[in-house]
Amino acid sequence: MSSYDVIIIGAGPGGYVSAIRCAQLGLKTAIVEGRETLGGTCLNVGCIPSKALLHATHQLHEAEHNFAKMGLKGKSPSVDWNQMKSYKDEVIGQNTGGIEFLMKKNKIDWLKGWASIPAAGQVKVGDETYATKNIVIASGSVPSSLPGVTVDNETGVVVDSTGALSLPKVPKKMVVIGAGVIGLELGSVYARLGSEVTVVEYMDAVCPGMDKDVQRSFKKILEKQGLTFIMGAAVQGVDATKTKAKVKYQPKKGGDEEVIDADVVLVATGRKPFAAGLGLDALGVKLTERGQIATDAHWATNVPGIYAIGDVIEGPMLAHKAEDEGMAVAEVIAGKHGHVNYGVIPGVVYTTPEVANVGATEDALKAEGRKIKVGKFSFMGNGRAKAVGQADGFVKIIADAETDRVLGAAIIGPAAGDMIHEICVAMEFGASAEDIALTCHAHPTYSEAVREAALACGDGAIHA
Ligand code: FAD
């Protein structure tokens, strides 16, 4: 029986990053993946393909709506959807191939197939059983649905995010159930491609968990881009044929059940942890009430030698959270000190404009009764944002009223997903808003808006 120091189950961003760090720390490492390619949800049917489509359709939107006013005239591009999907698939291939190269480079064995754990210290893949001192479960998550809604990605009428990344054609009418990150990103893609997109959401605001002013501003911007929202609507079910669907919903405020017709319904109501087939029940591995694998502060399950990380455990279902846990658990297994600061994990929506946030929200801190100050700066006062026609949105920094320590931030605007890291680093170093305000920022950059928001926490922004 081949034996390893660590076998990692699942080659998503949690698993493959963990494998690389384990190998770097001198541990004999194997990774098991049941998919044909490495990279997990993120690279195959998540972060990367959705960003490829967002990028392509953003270019289309720019050409259709913004080129002429900059003096760029001529025929606007027409959409070859099959070519756009090929572009997306090529991007996936480059990325998954890159991970395969990294596995070889780091001498990590890829055990191809679906794994189960017959006993602590053993991993079975196909007919082979491998001995291992440690097991890291990084089996990720899968889309979840609603009662009365049956997803069928093959037919392509009622689809989840995986189906929505590869629709046979661009639908005339799309209904998106759920106004969370995935629904809004993919809804934006199809709205830019010319679909009539209606988003149906149970809550009264988009992107639950964000501050109300960010939610309001974001929704307004998306409405300007042509998305329609039906808020406070409880979806009762979807009736589908092979070509069409009817979405039935009950308005929460009362009244009769309503029905919307669609060519495609995208169910984007969240994701659930995936650990099927591993044999966790027989092993006695404890789960949380929400079906996640329960772990302690060092990602250890209740069964010695078995760890778990990423979407399959508690916490935000984000690739970078999984990666951080992957590195940290490798350090723990190697006898070092792995650490993840869960207070500083950014979240980003990759629409145009992007929306990013980190740390505490203003609404949550106010609800706690914490004394805070809030510095806000609109991109209307930022020269660079105006130069590129993206002055919608703002930067908001939330700091402790007495100590001035930065507690959180939200950005809605161009490159928000990159700019948020300035605040992340500031928070990691325990910086004050004044520290950011005193840091020279190059002109003209979007990041000047971050500095202005920090100045607004003190004596005031300059360009407000
Ligand atoms: P996964 O990436 O889900 O990987 C788990 C892997 O384990 C899978 O490949 C699976 O096949 C394999 N596996 C499971 N069980 C077994 C077994 N028994 N044997 C062998 N292999 C097994 N996150 C972001 O941070 N940014 C984004 O922009 C973003 N965009 C997204 C867009 C979409 C459309 C979706 C669906 C998700 C997006 N996410 C994004 C979320 C992100 O993809 C996940 O948080 C991330 O992939 C979780 O990583 P993971 O390693 O925990 O699991």
What's the pLDDT score for residue 36?
97
> How would you list the strands of the sheet with 264-267, edge to edge?
158-159, 264-267, 173-177, 196-200, 228-230
Residue nearest to atom 34 of ligand 1 (CA): 46
pLDDT at 100: 98
| pLDDT for 2 | 86
Residue range 185-217, pLDDT digits in tens: 999 999 999 999 999 999 999 999 999 999 999
Ligand 1 lining (C-beta closer than 6 Å): 9-15, 32-35, 40-42, 46-47, 50, 114-115, 138-141, 161, 182, 274, 277-278, 310-311, 317-320, 322, 350
pLDDT digit string, tens, across residues 256-289: 999 999 999 999 999 999 999 999 999 999 999 9
**pLDDT for position 192:** 97
Q: What is the mean pLDDT of residues 94-121?
A: 98
257 labelled binding-site residue: no
Domain 4-143+272-334: CATH class, spelled out:
alpha beta
What's the 274 CA to ligand 1 centre distance in angstroms?
Answer: 10
271 CA closest ligand 1 atom index: 36
Give the residue, by CA position, lying nearest to ligand 1 atom 43. Answer: 42
d(CA 368, ligand 1 centre) in Å: 34
Cα torsion at 125, 130, 132, 135 (round to 10°)? 10
319 marked as part of a ligand binding site? yes
CATH topology of domain 158-269: FAD/NAD(P)-binding domain (3.50.50)
CATH number for the segment(s) 347-457: 3.30.390.30
Q: Are 426 and 447 in contact (CB under 8 A)?
A: no
Cα-to-centroid distance, 406 and ligand 1 (Å): 31
Query: Of 67-81, 347-361, 433-447, which gets the smallest average pLDDT?
Result: 67-81
Question: pLDDT digit string (tens) for 119-162?
Answer: 999 999 999 999 999 999 999 999 998 999 999 999 999 999 99
Which is the closest atom of ligand 1 to the Cα of 312? 52
**CA–centroid distance, residue 311 to ligand 1 (Å):** 7
Q: Hey, whose CA ends up nearest to atom 18 of ligand 1?
A: 115
Residue ranges of domains in the chain = 4-143+272-334, 158-269, 347-457
Domains 4-143+272-334 and 158-269 agree in fold = yes
368-399 pLDDT, tens digit each: 999 999 999 999 999 999 999 999 999 999 99
**pLDDT at site 76:** 80
454 belongs to an annotated ligand binding site: no
Does the pLDDT at position 25 exceed 90? Answer: yes
CA 442 to ligand 1 center in whole angstroms: 37
Q: How confident is the model at residue 1 (pLDDT cuts 50, 70, 90)?
A: confident
* Catalytic center residues: 443
Which protein residue has the closest C-alpha to ligand 1 atom 47?
A: 42
| Mean pLDDT for all residues in the chain | 97
Residue 252's pLDDT is 94
325 is in an annotated binding site: no
Residue 75 has pLDDT above 90, yes or no: no
Q: Look at residue 64 in the predicted model and tell me its pLDDT.
A: 93
Whether the pLDDT of residue 87 is over 90: the answer is yes
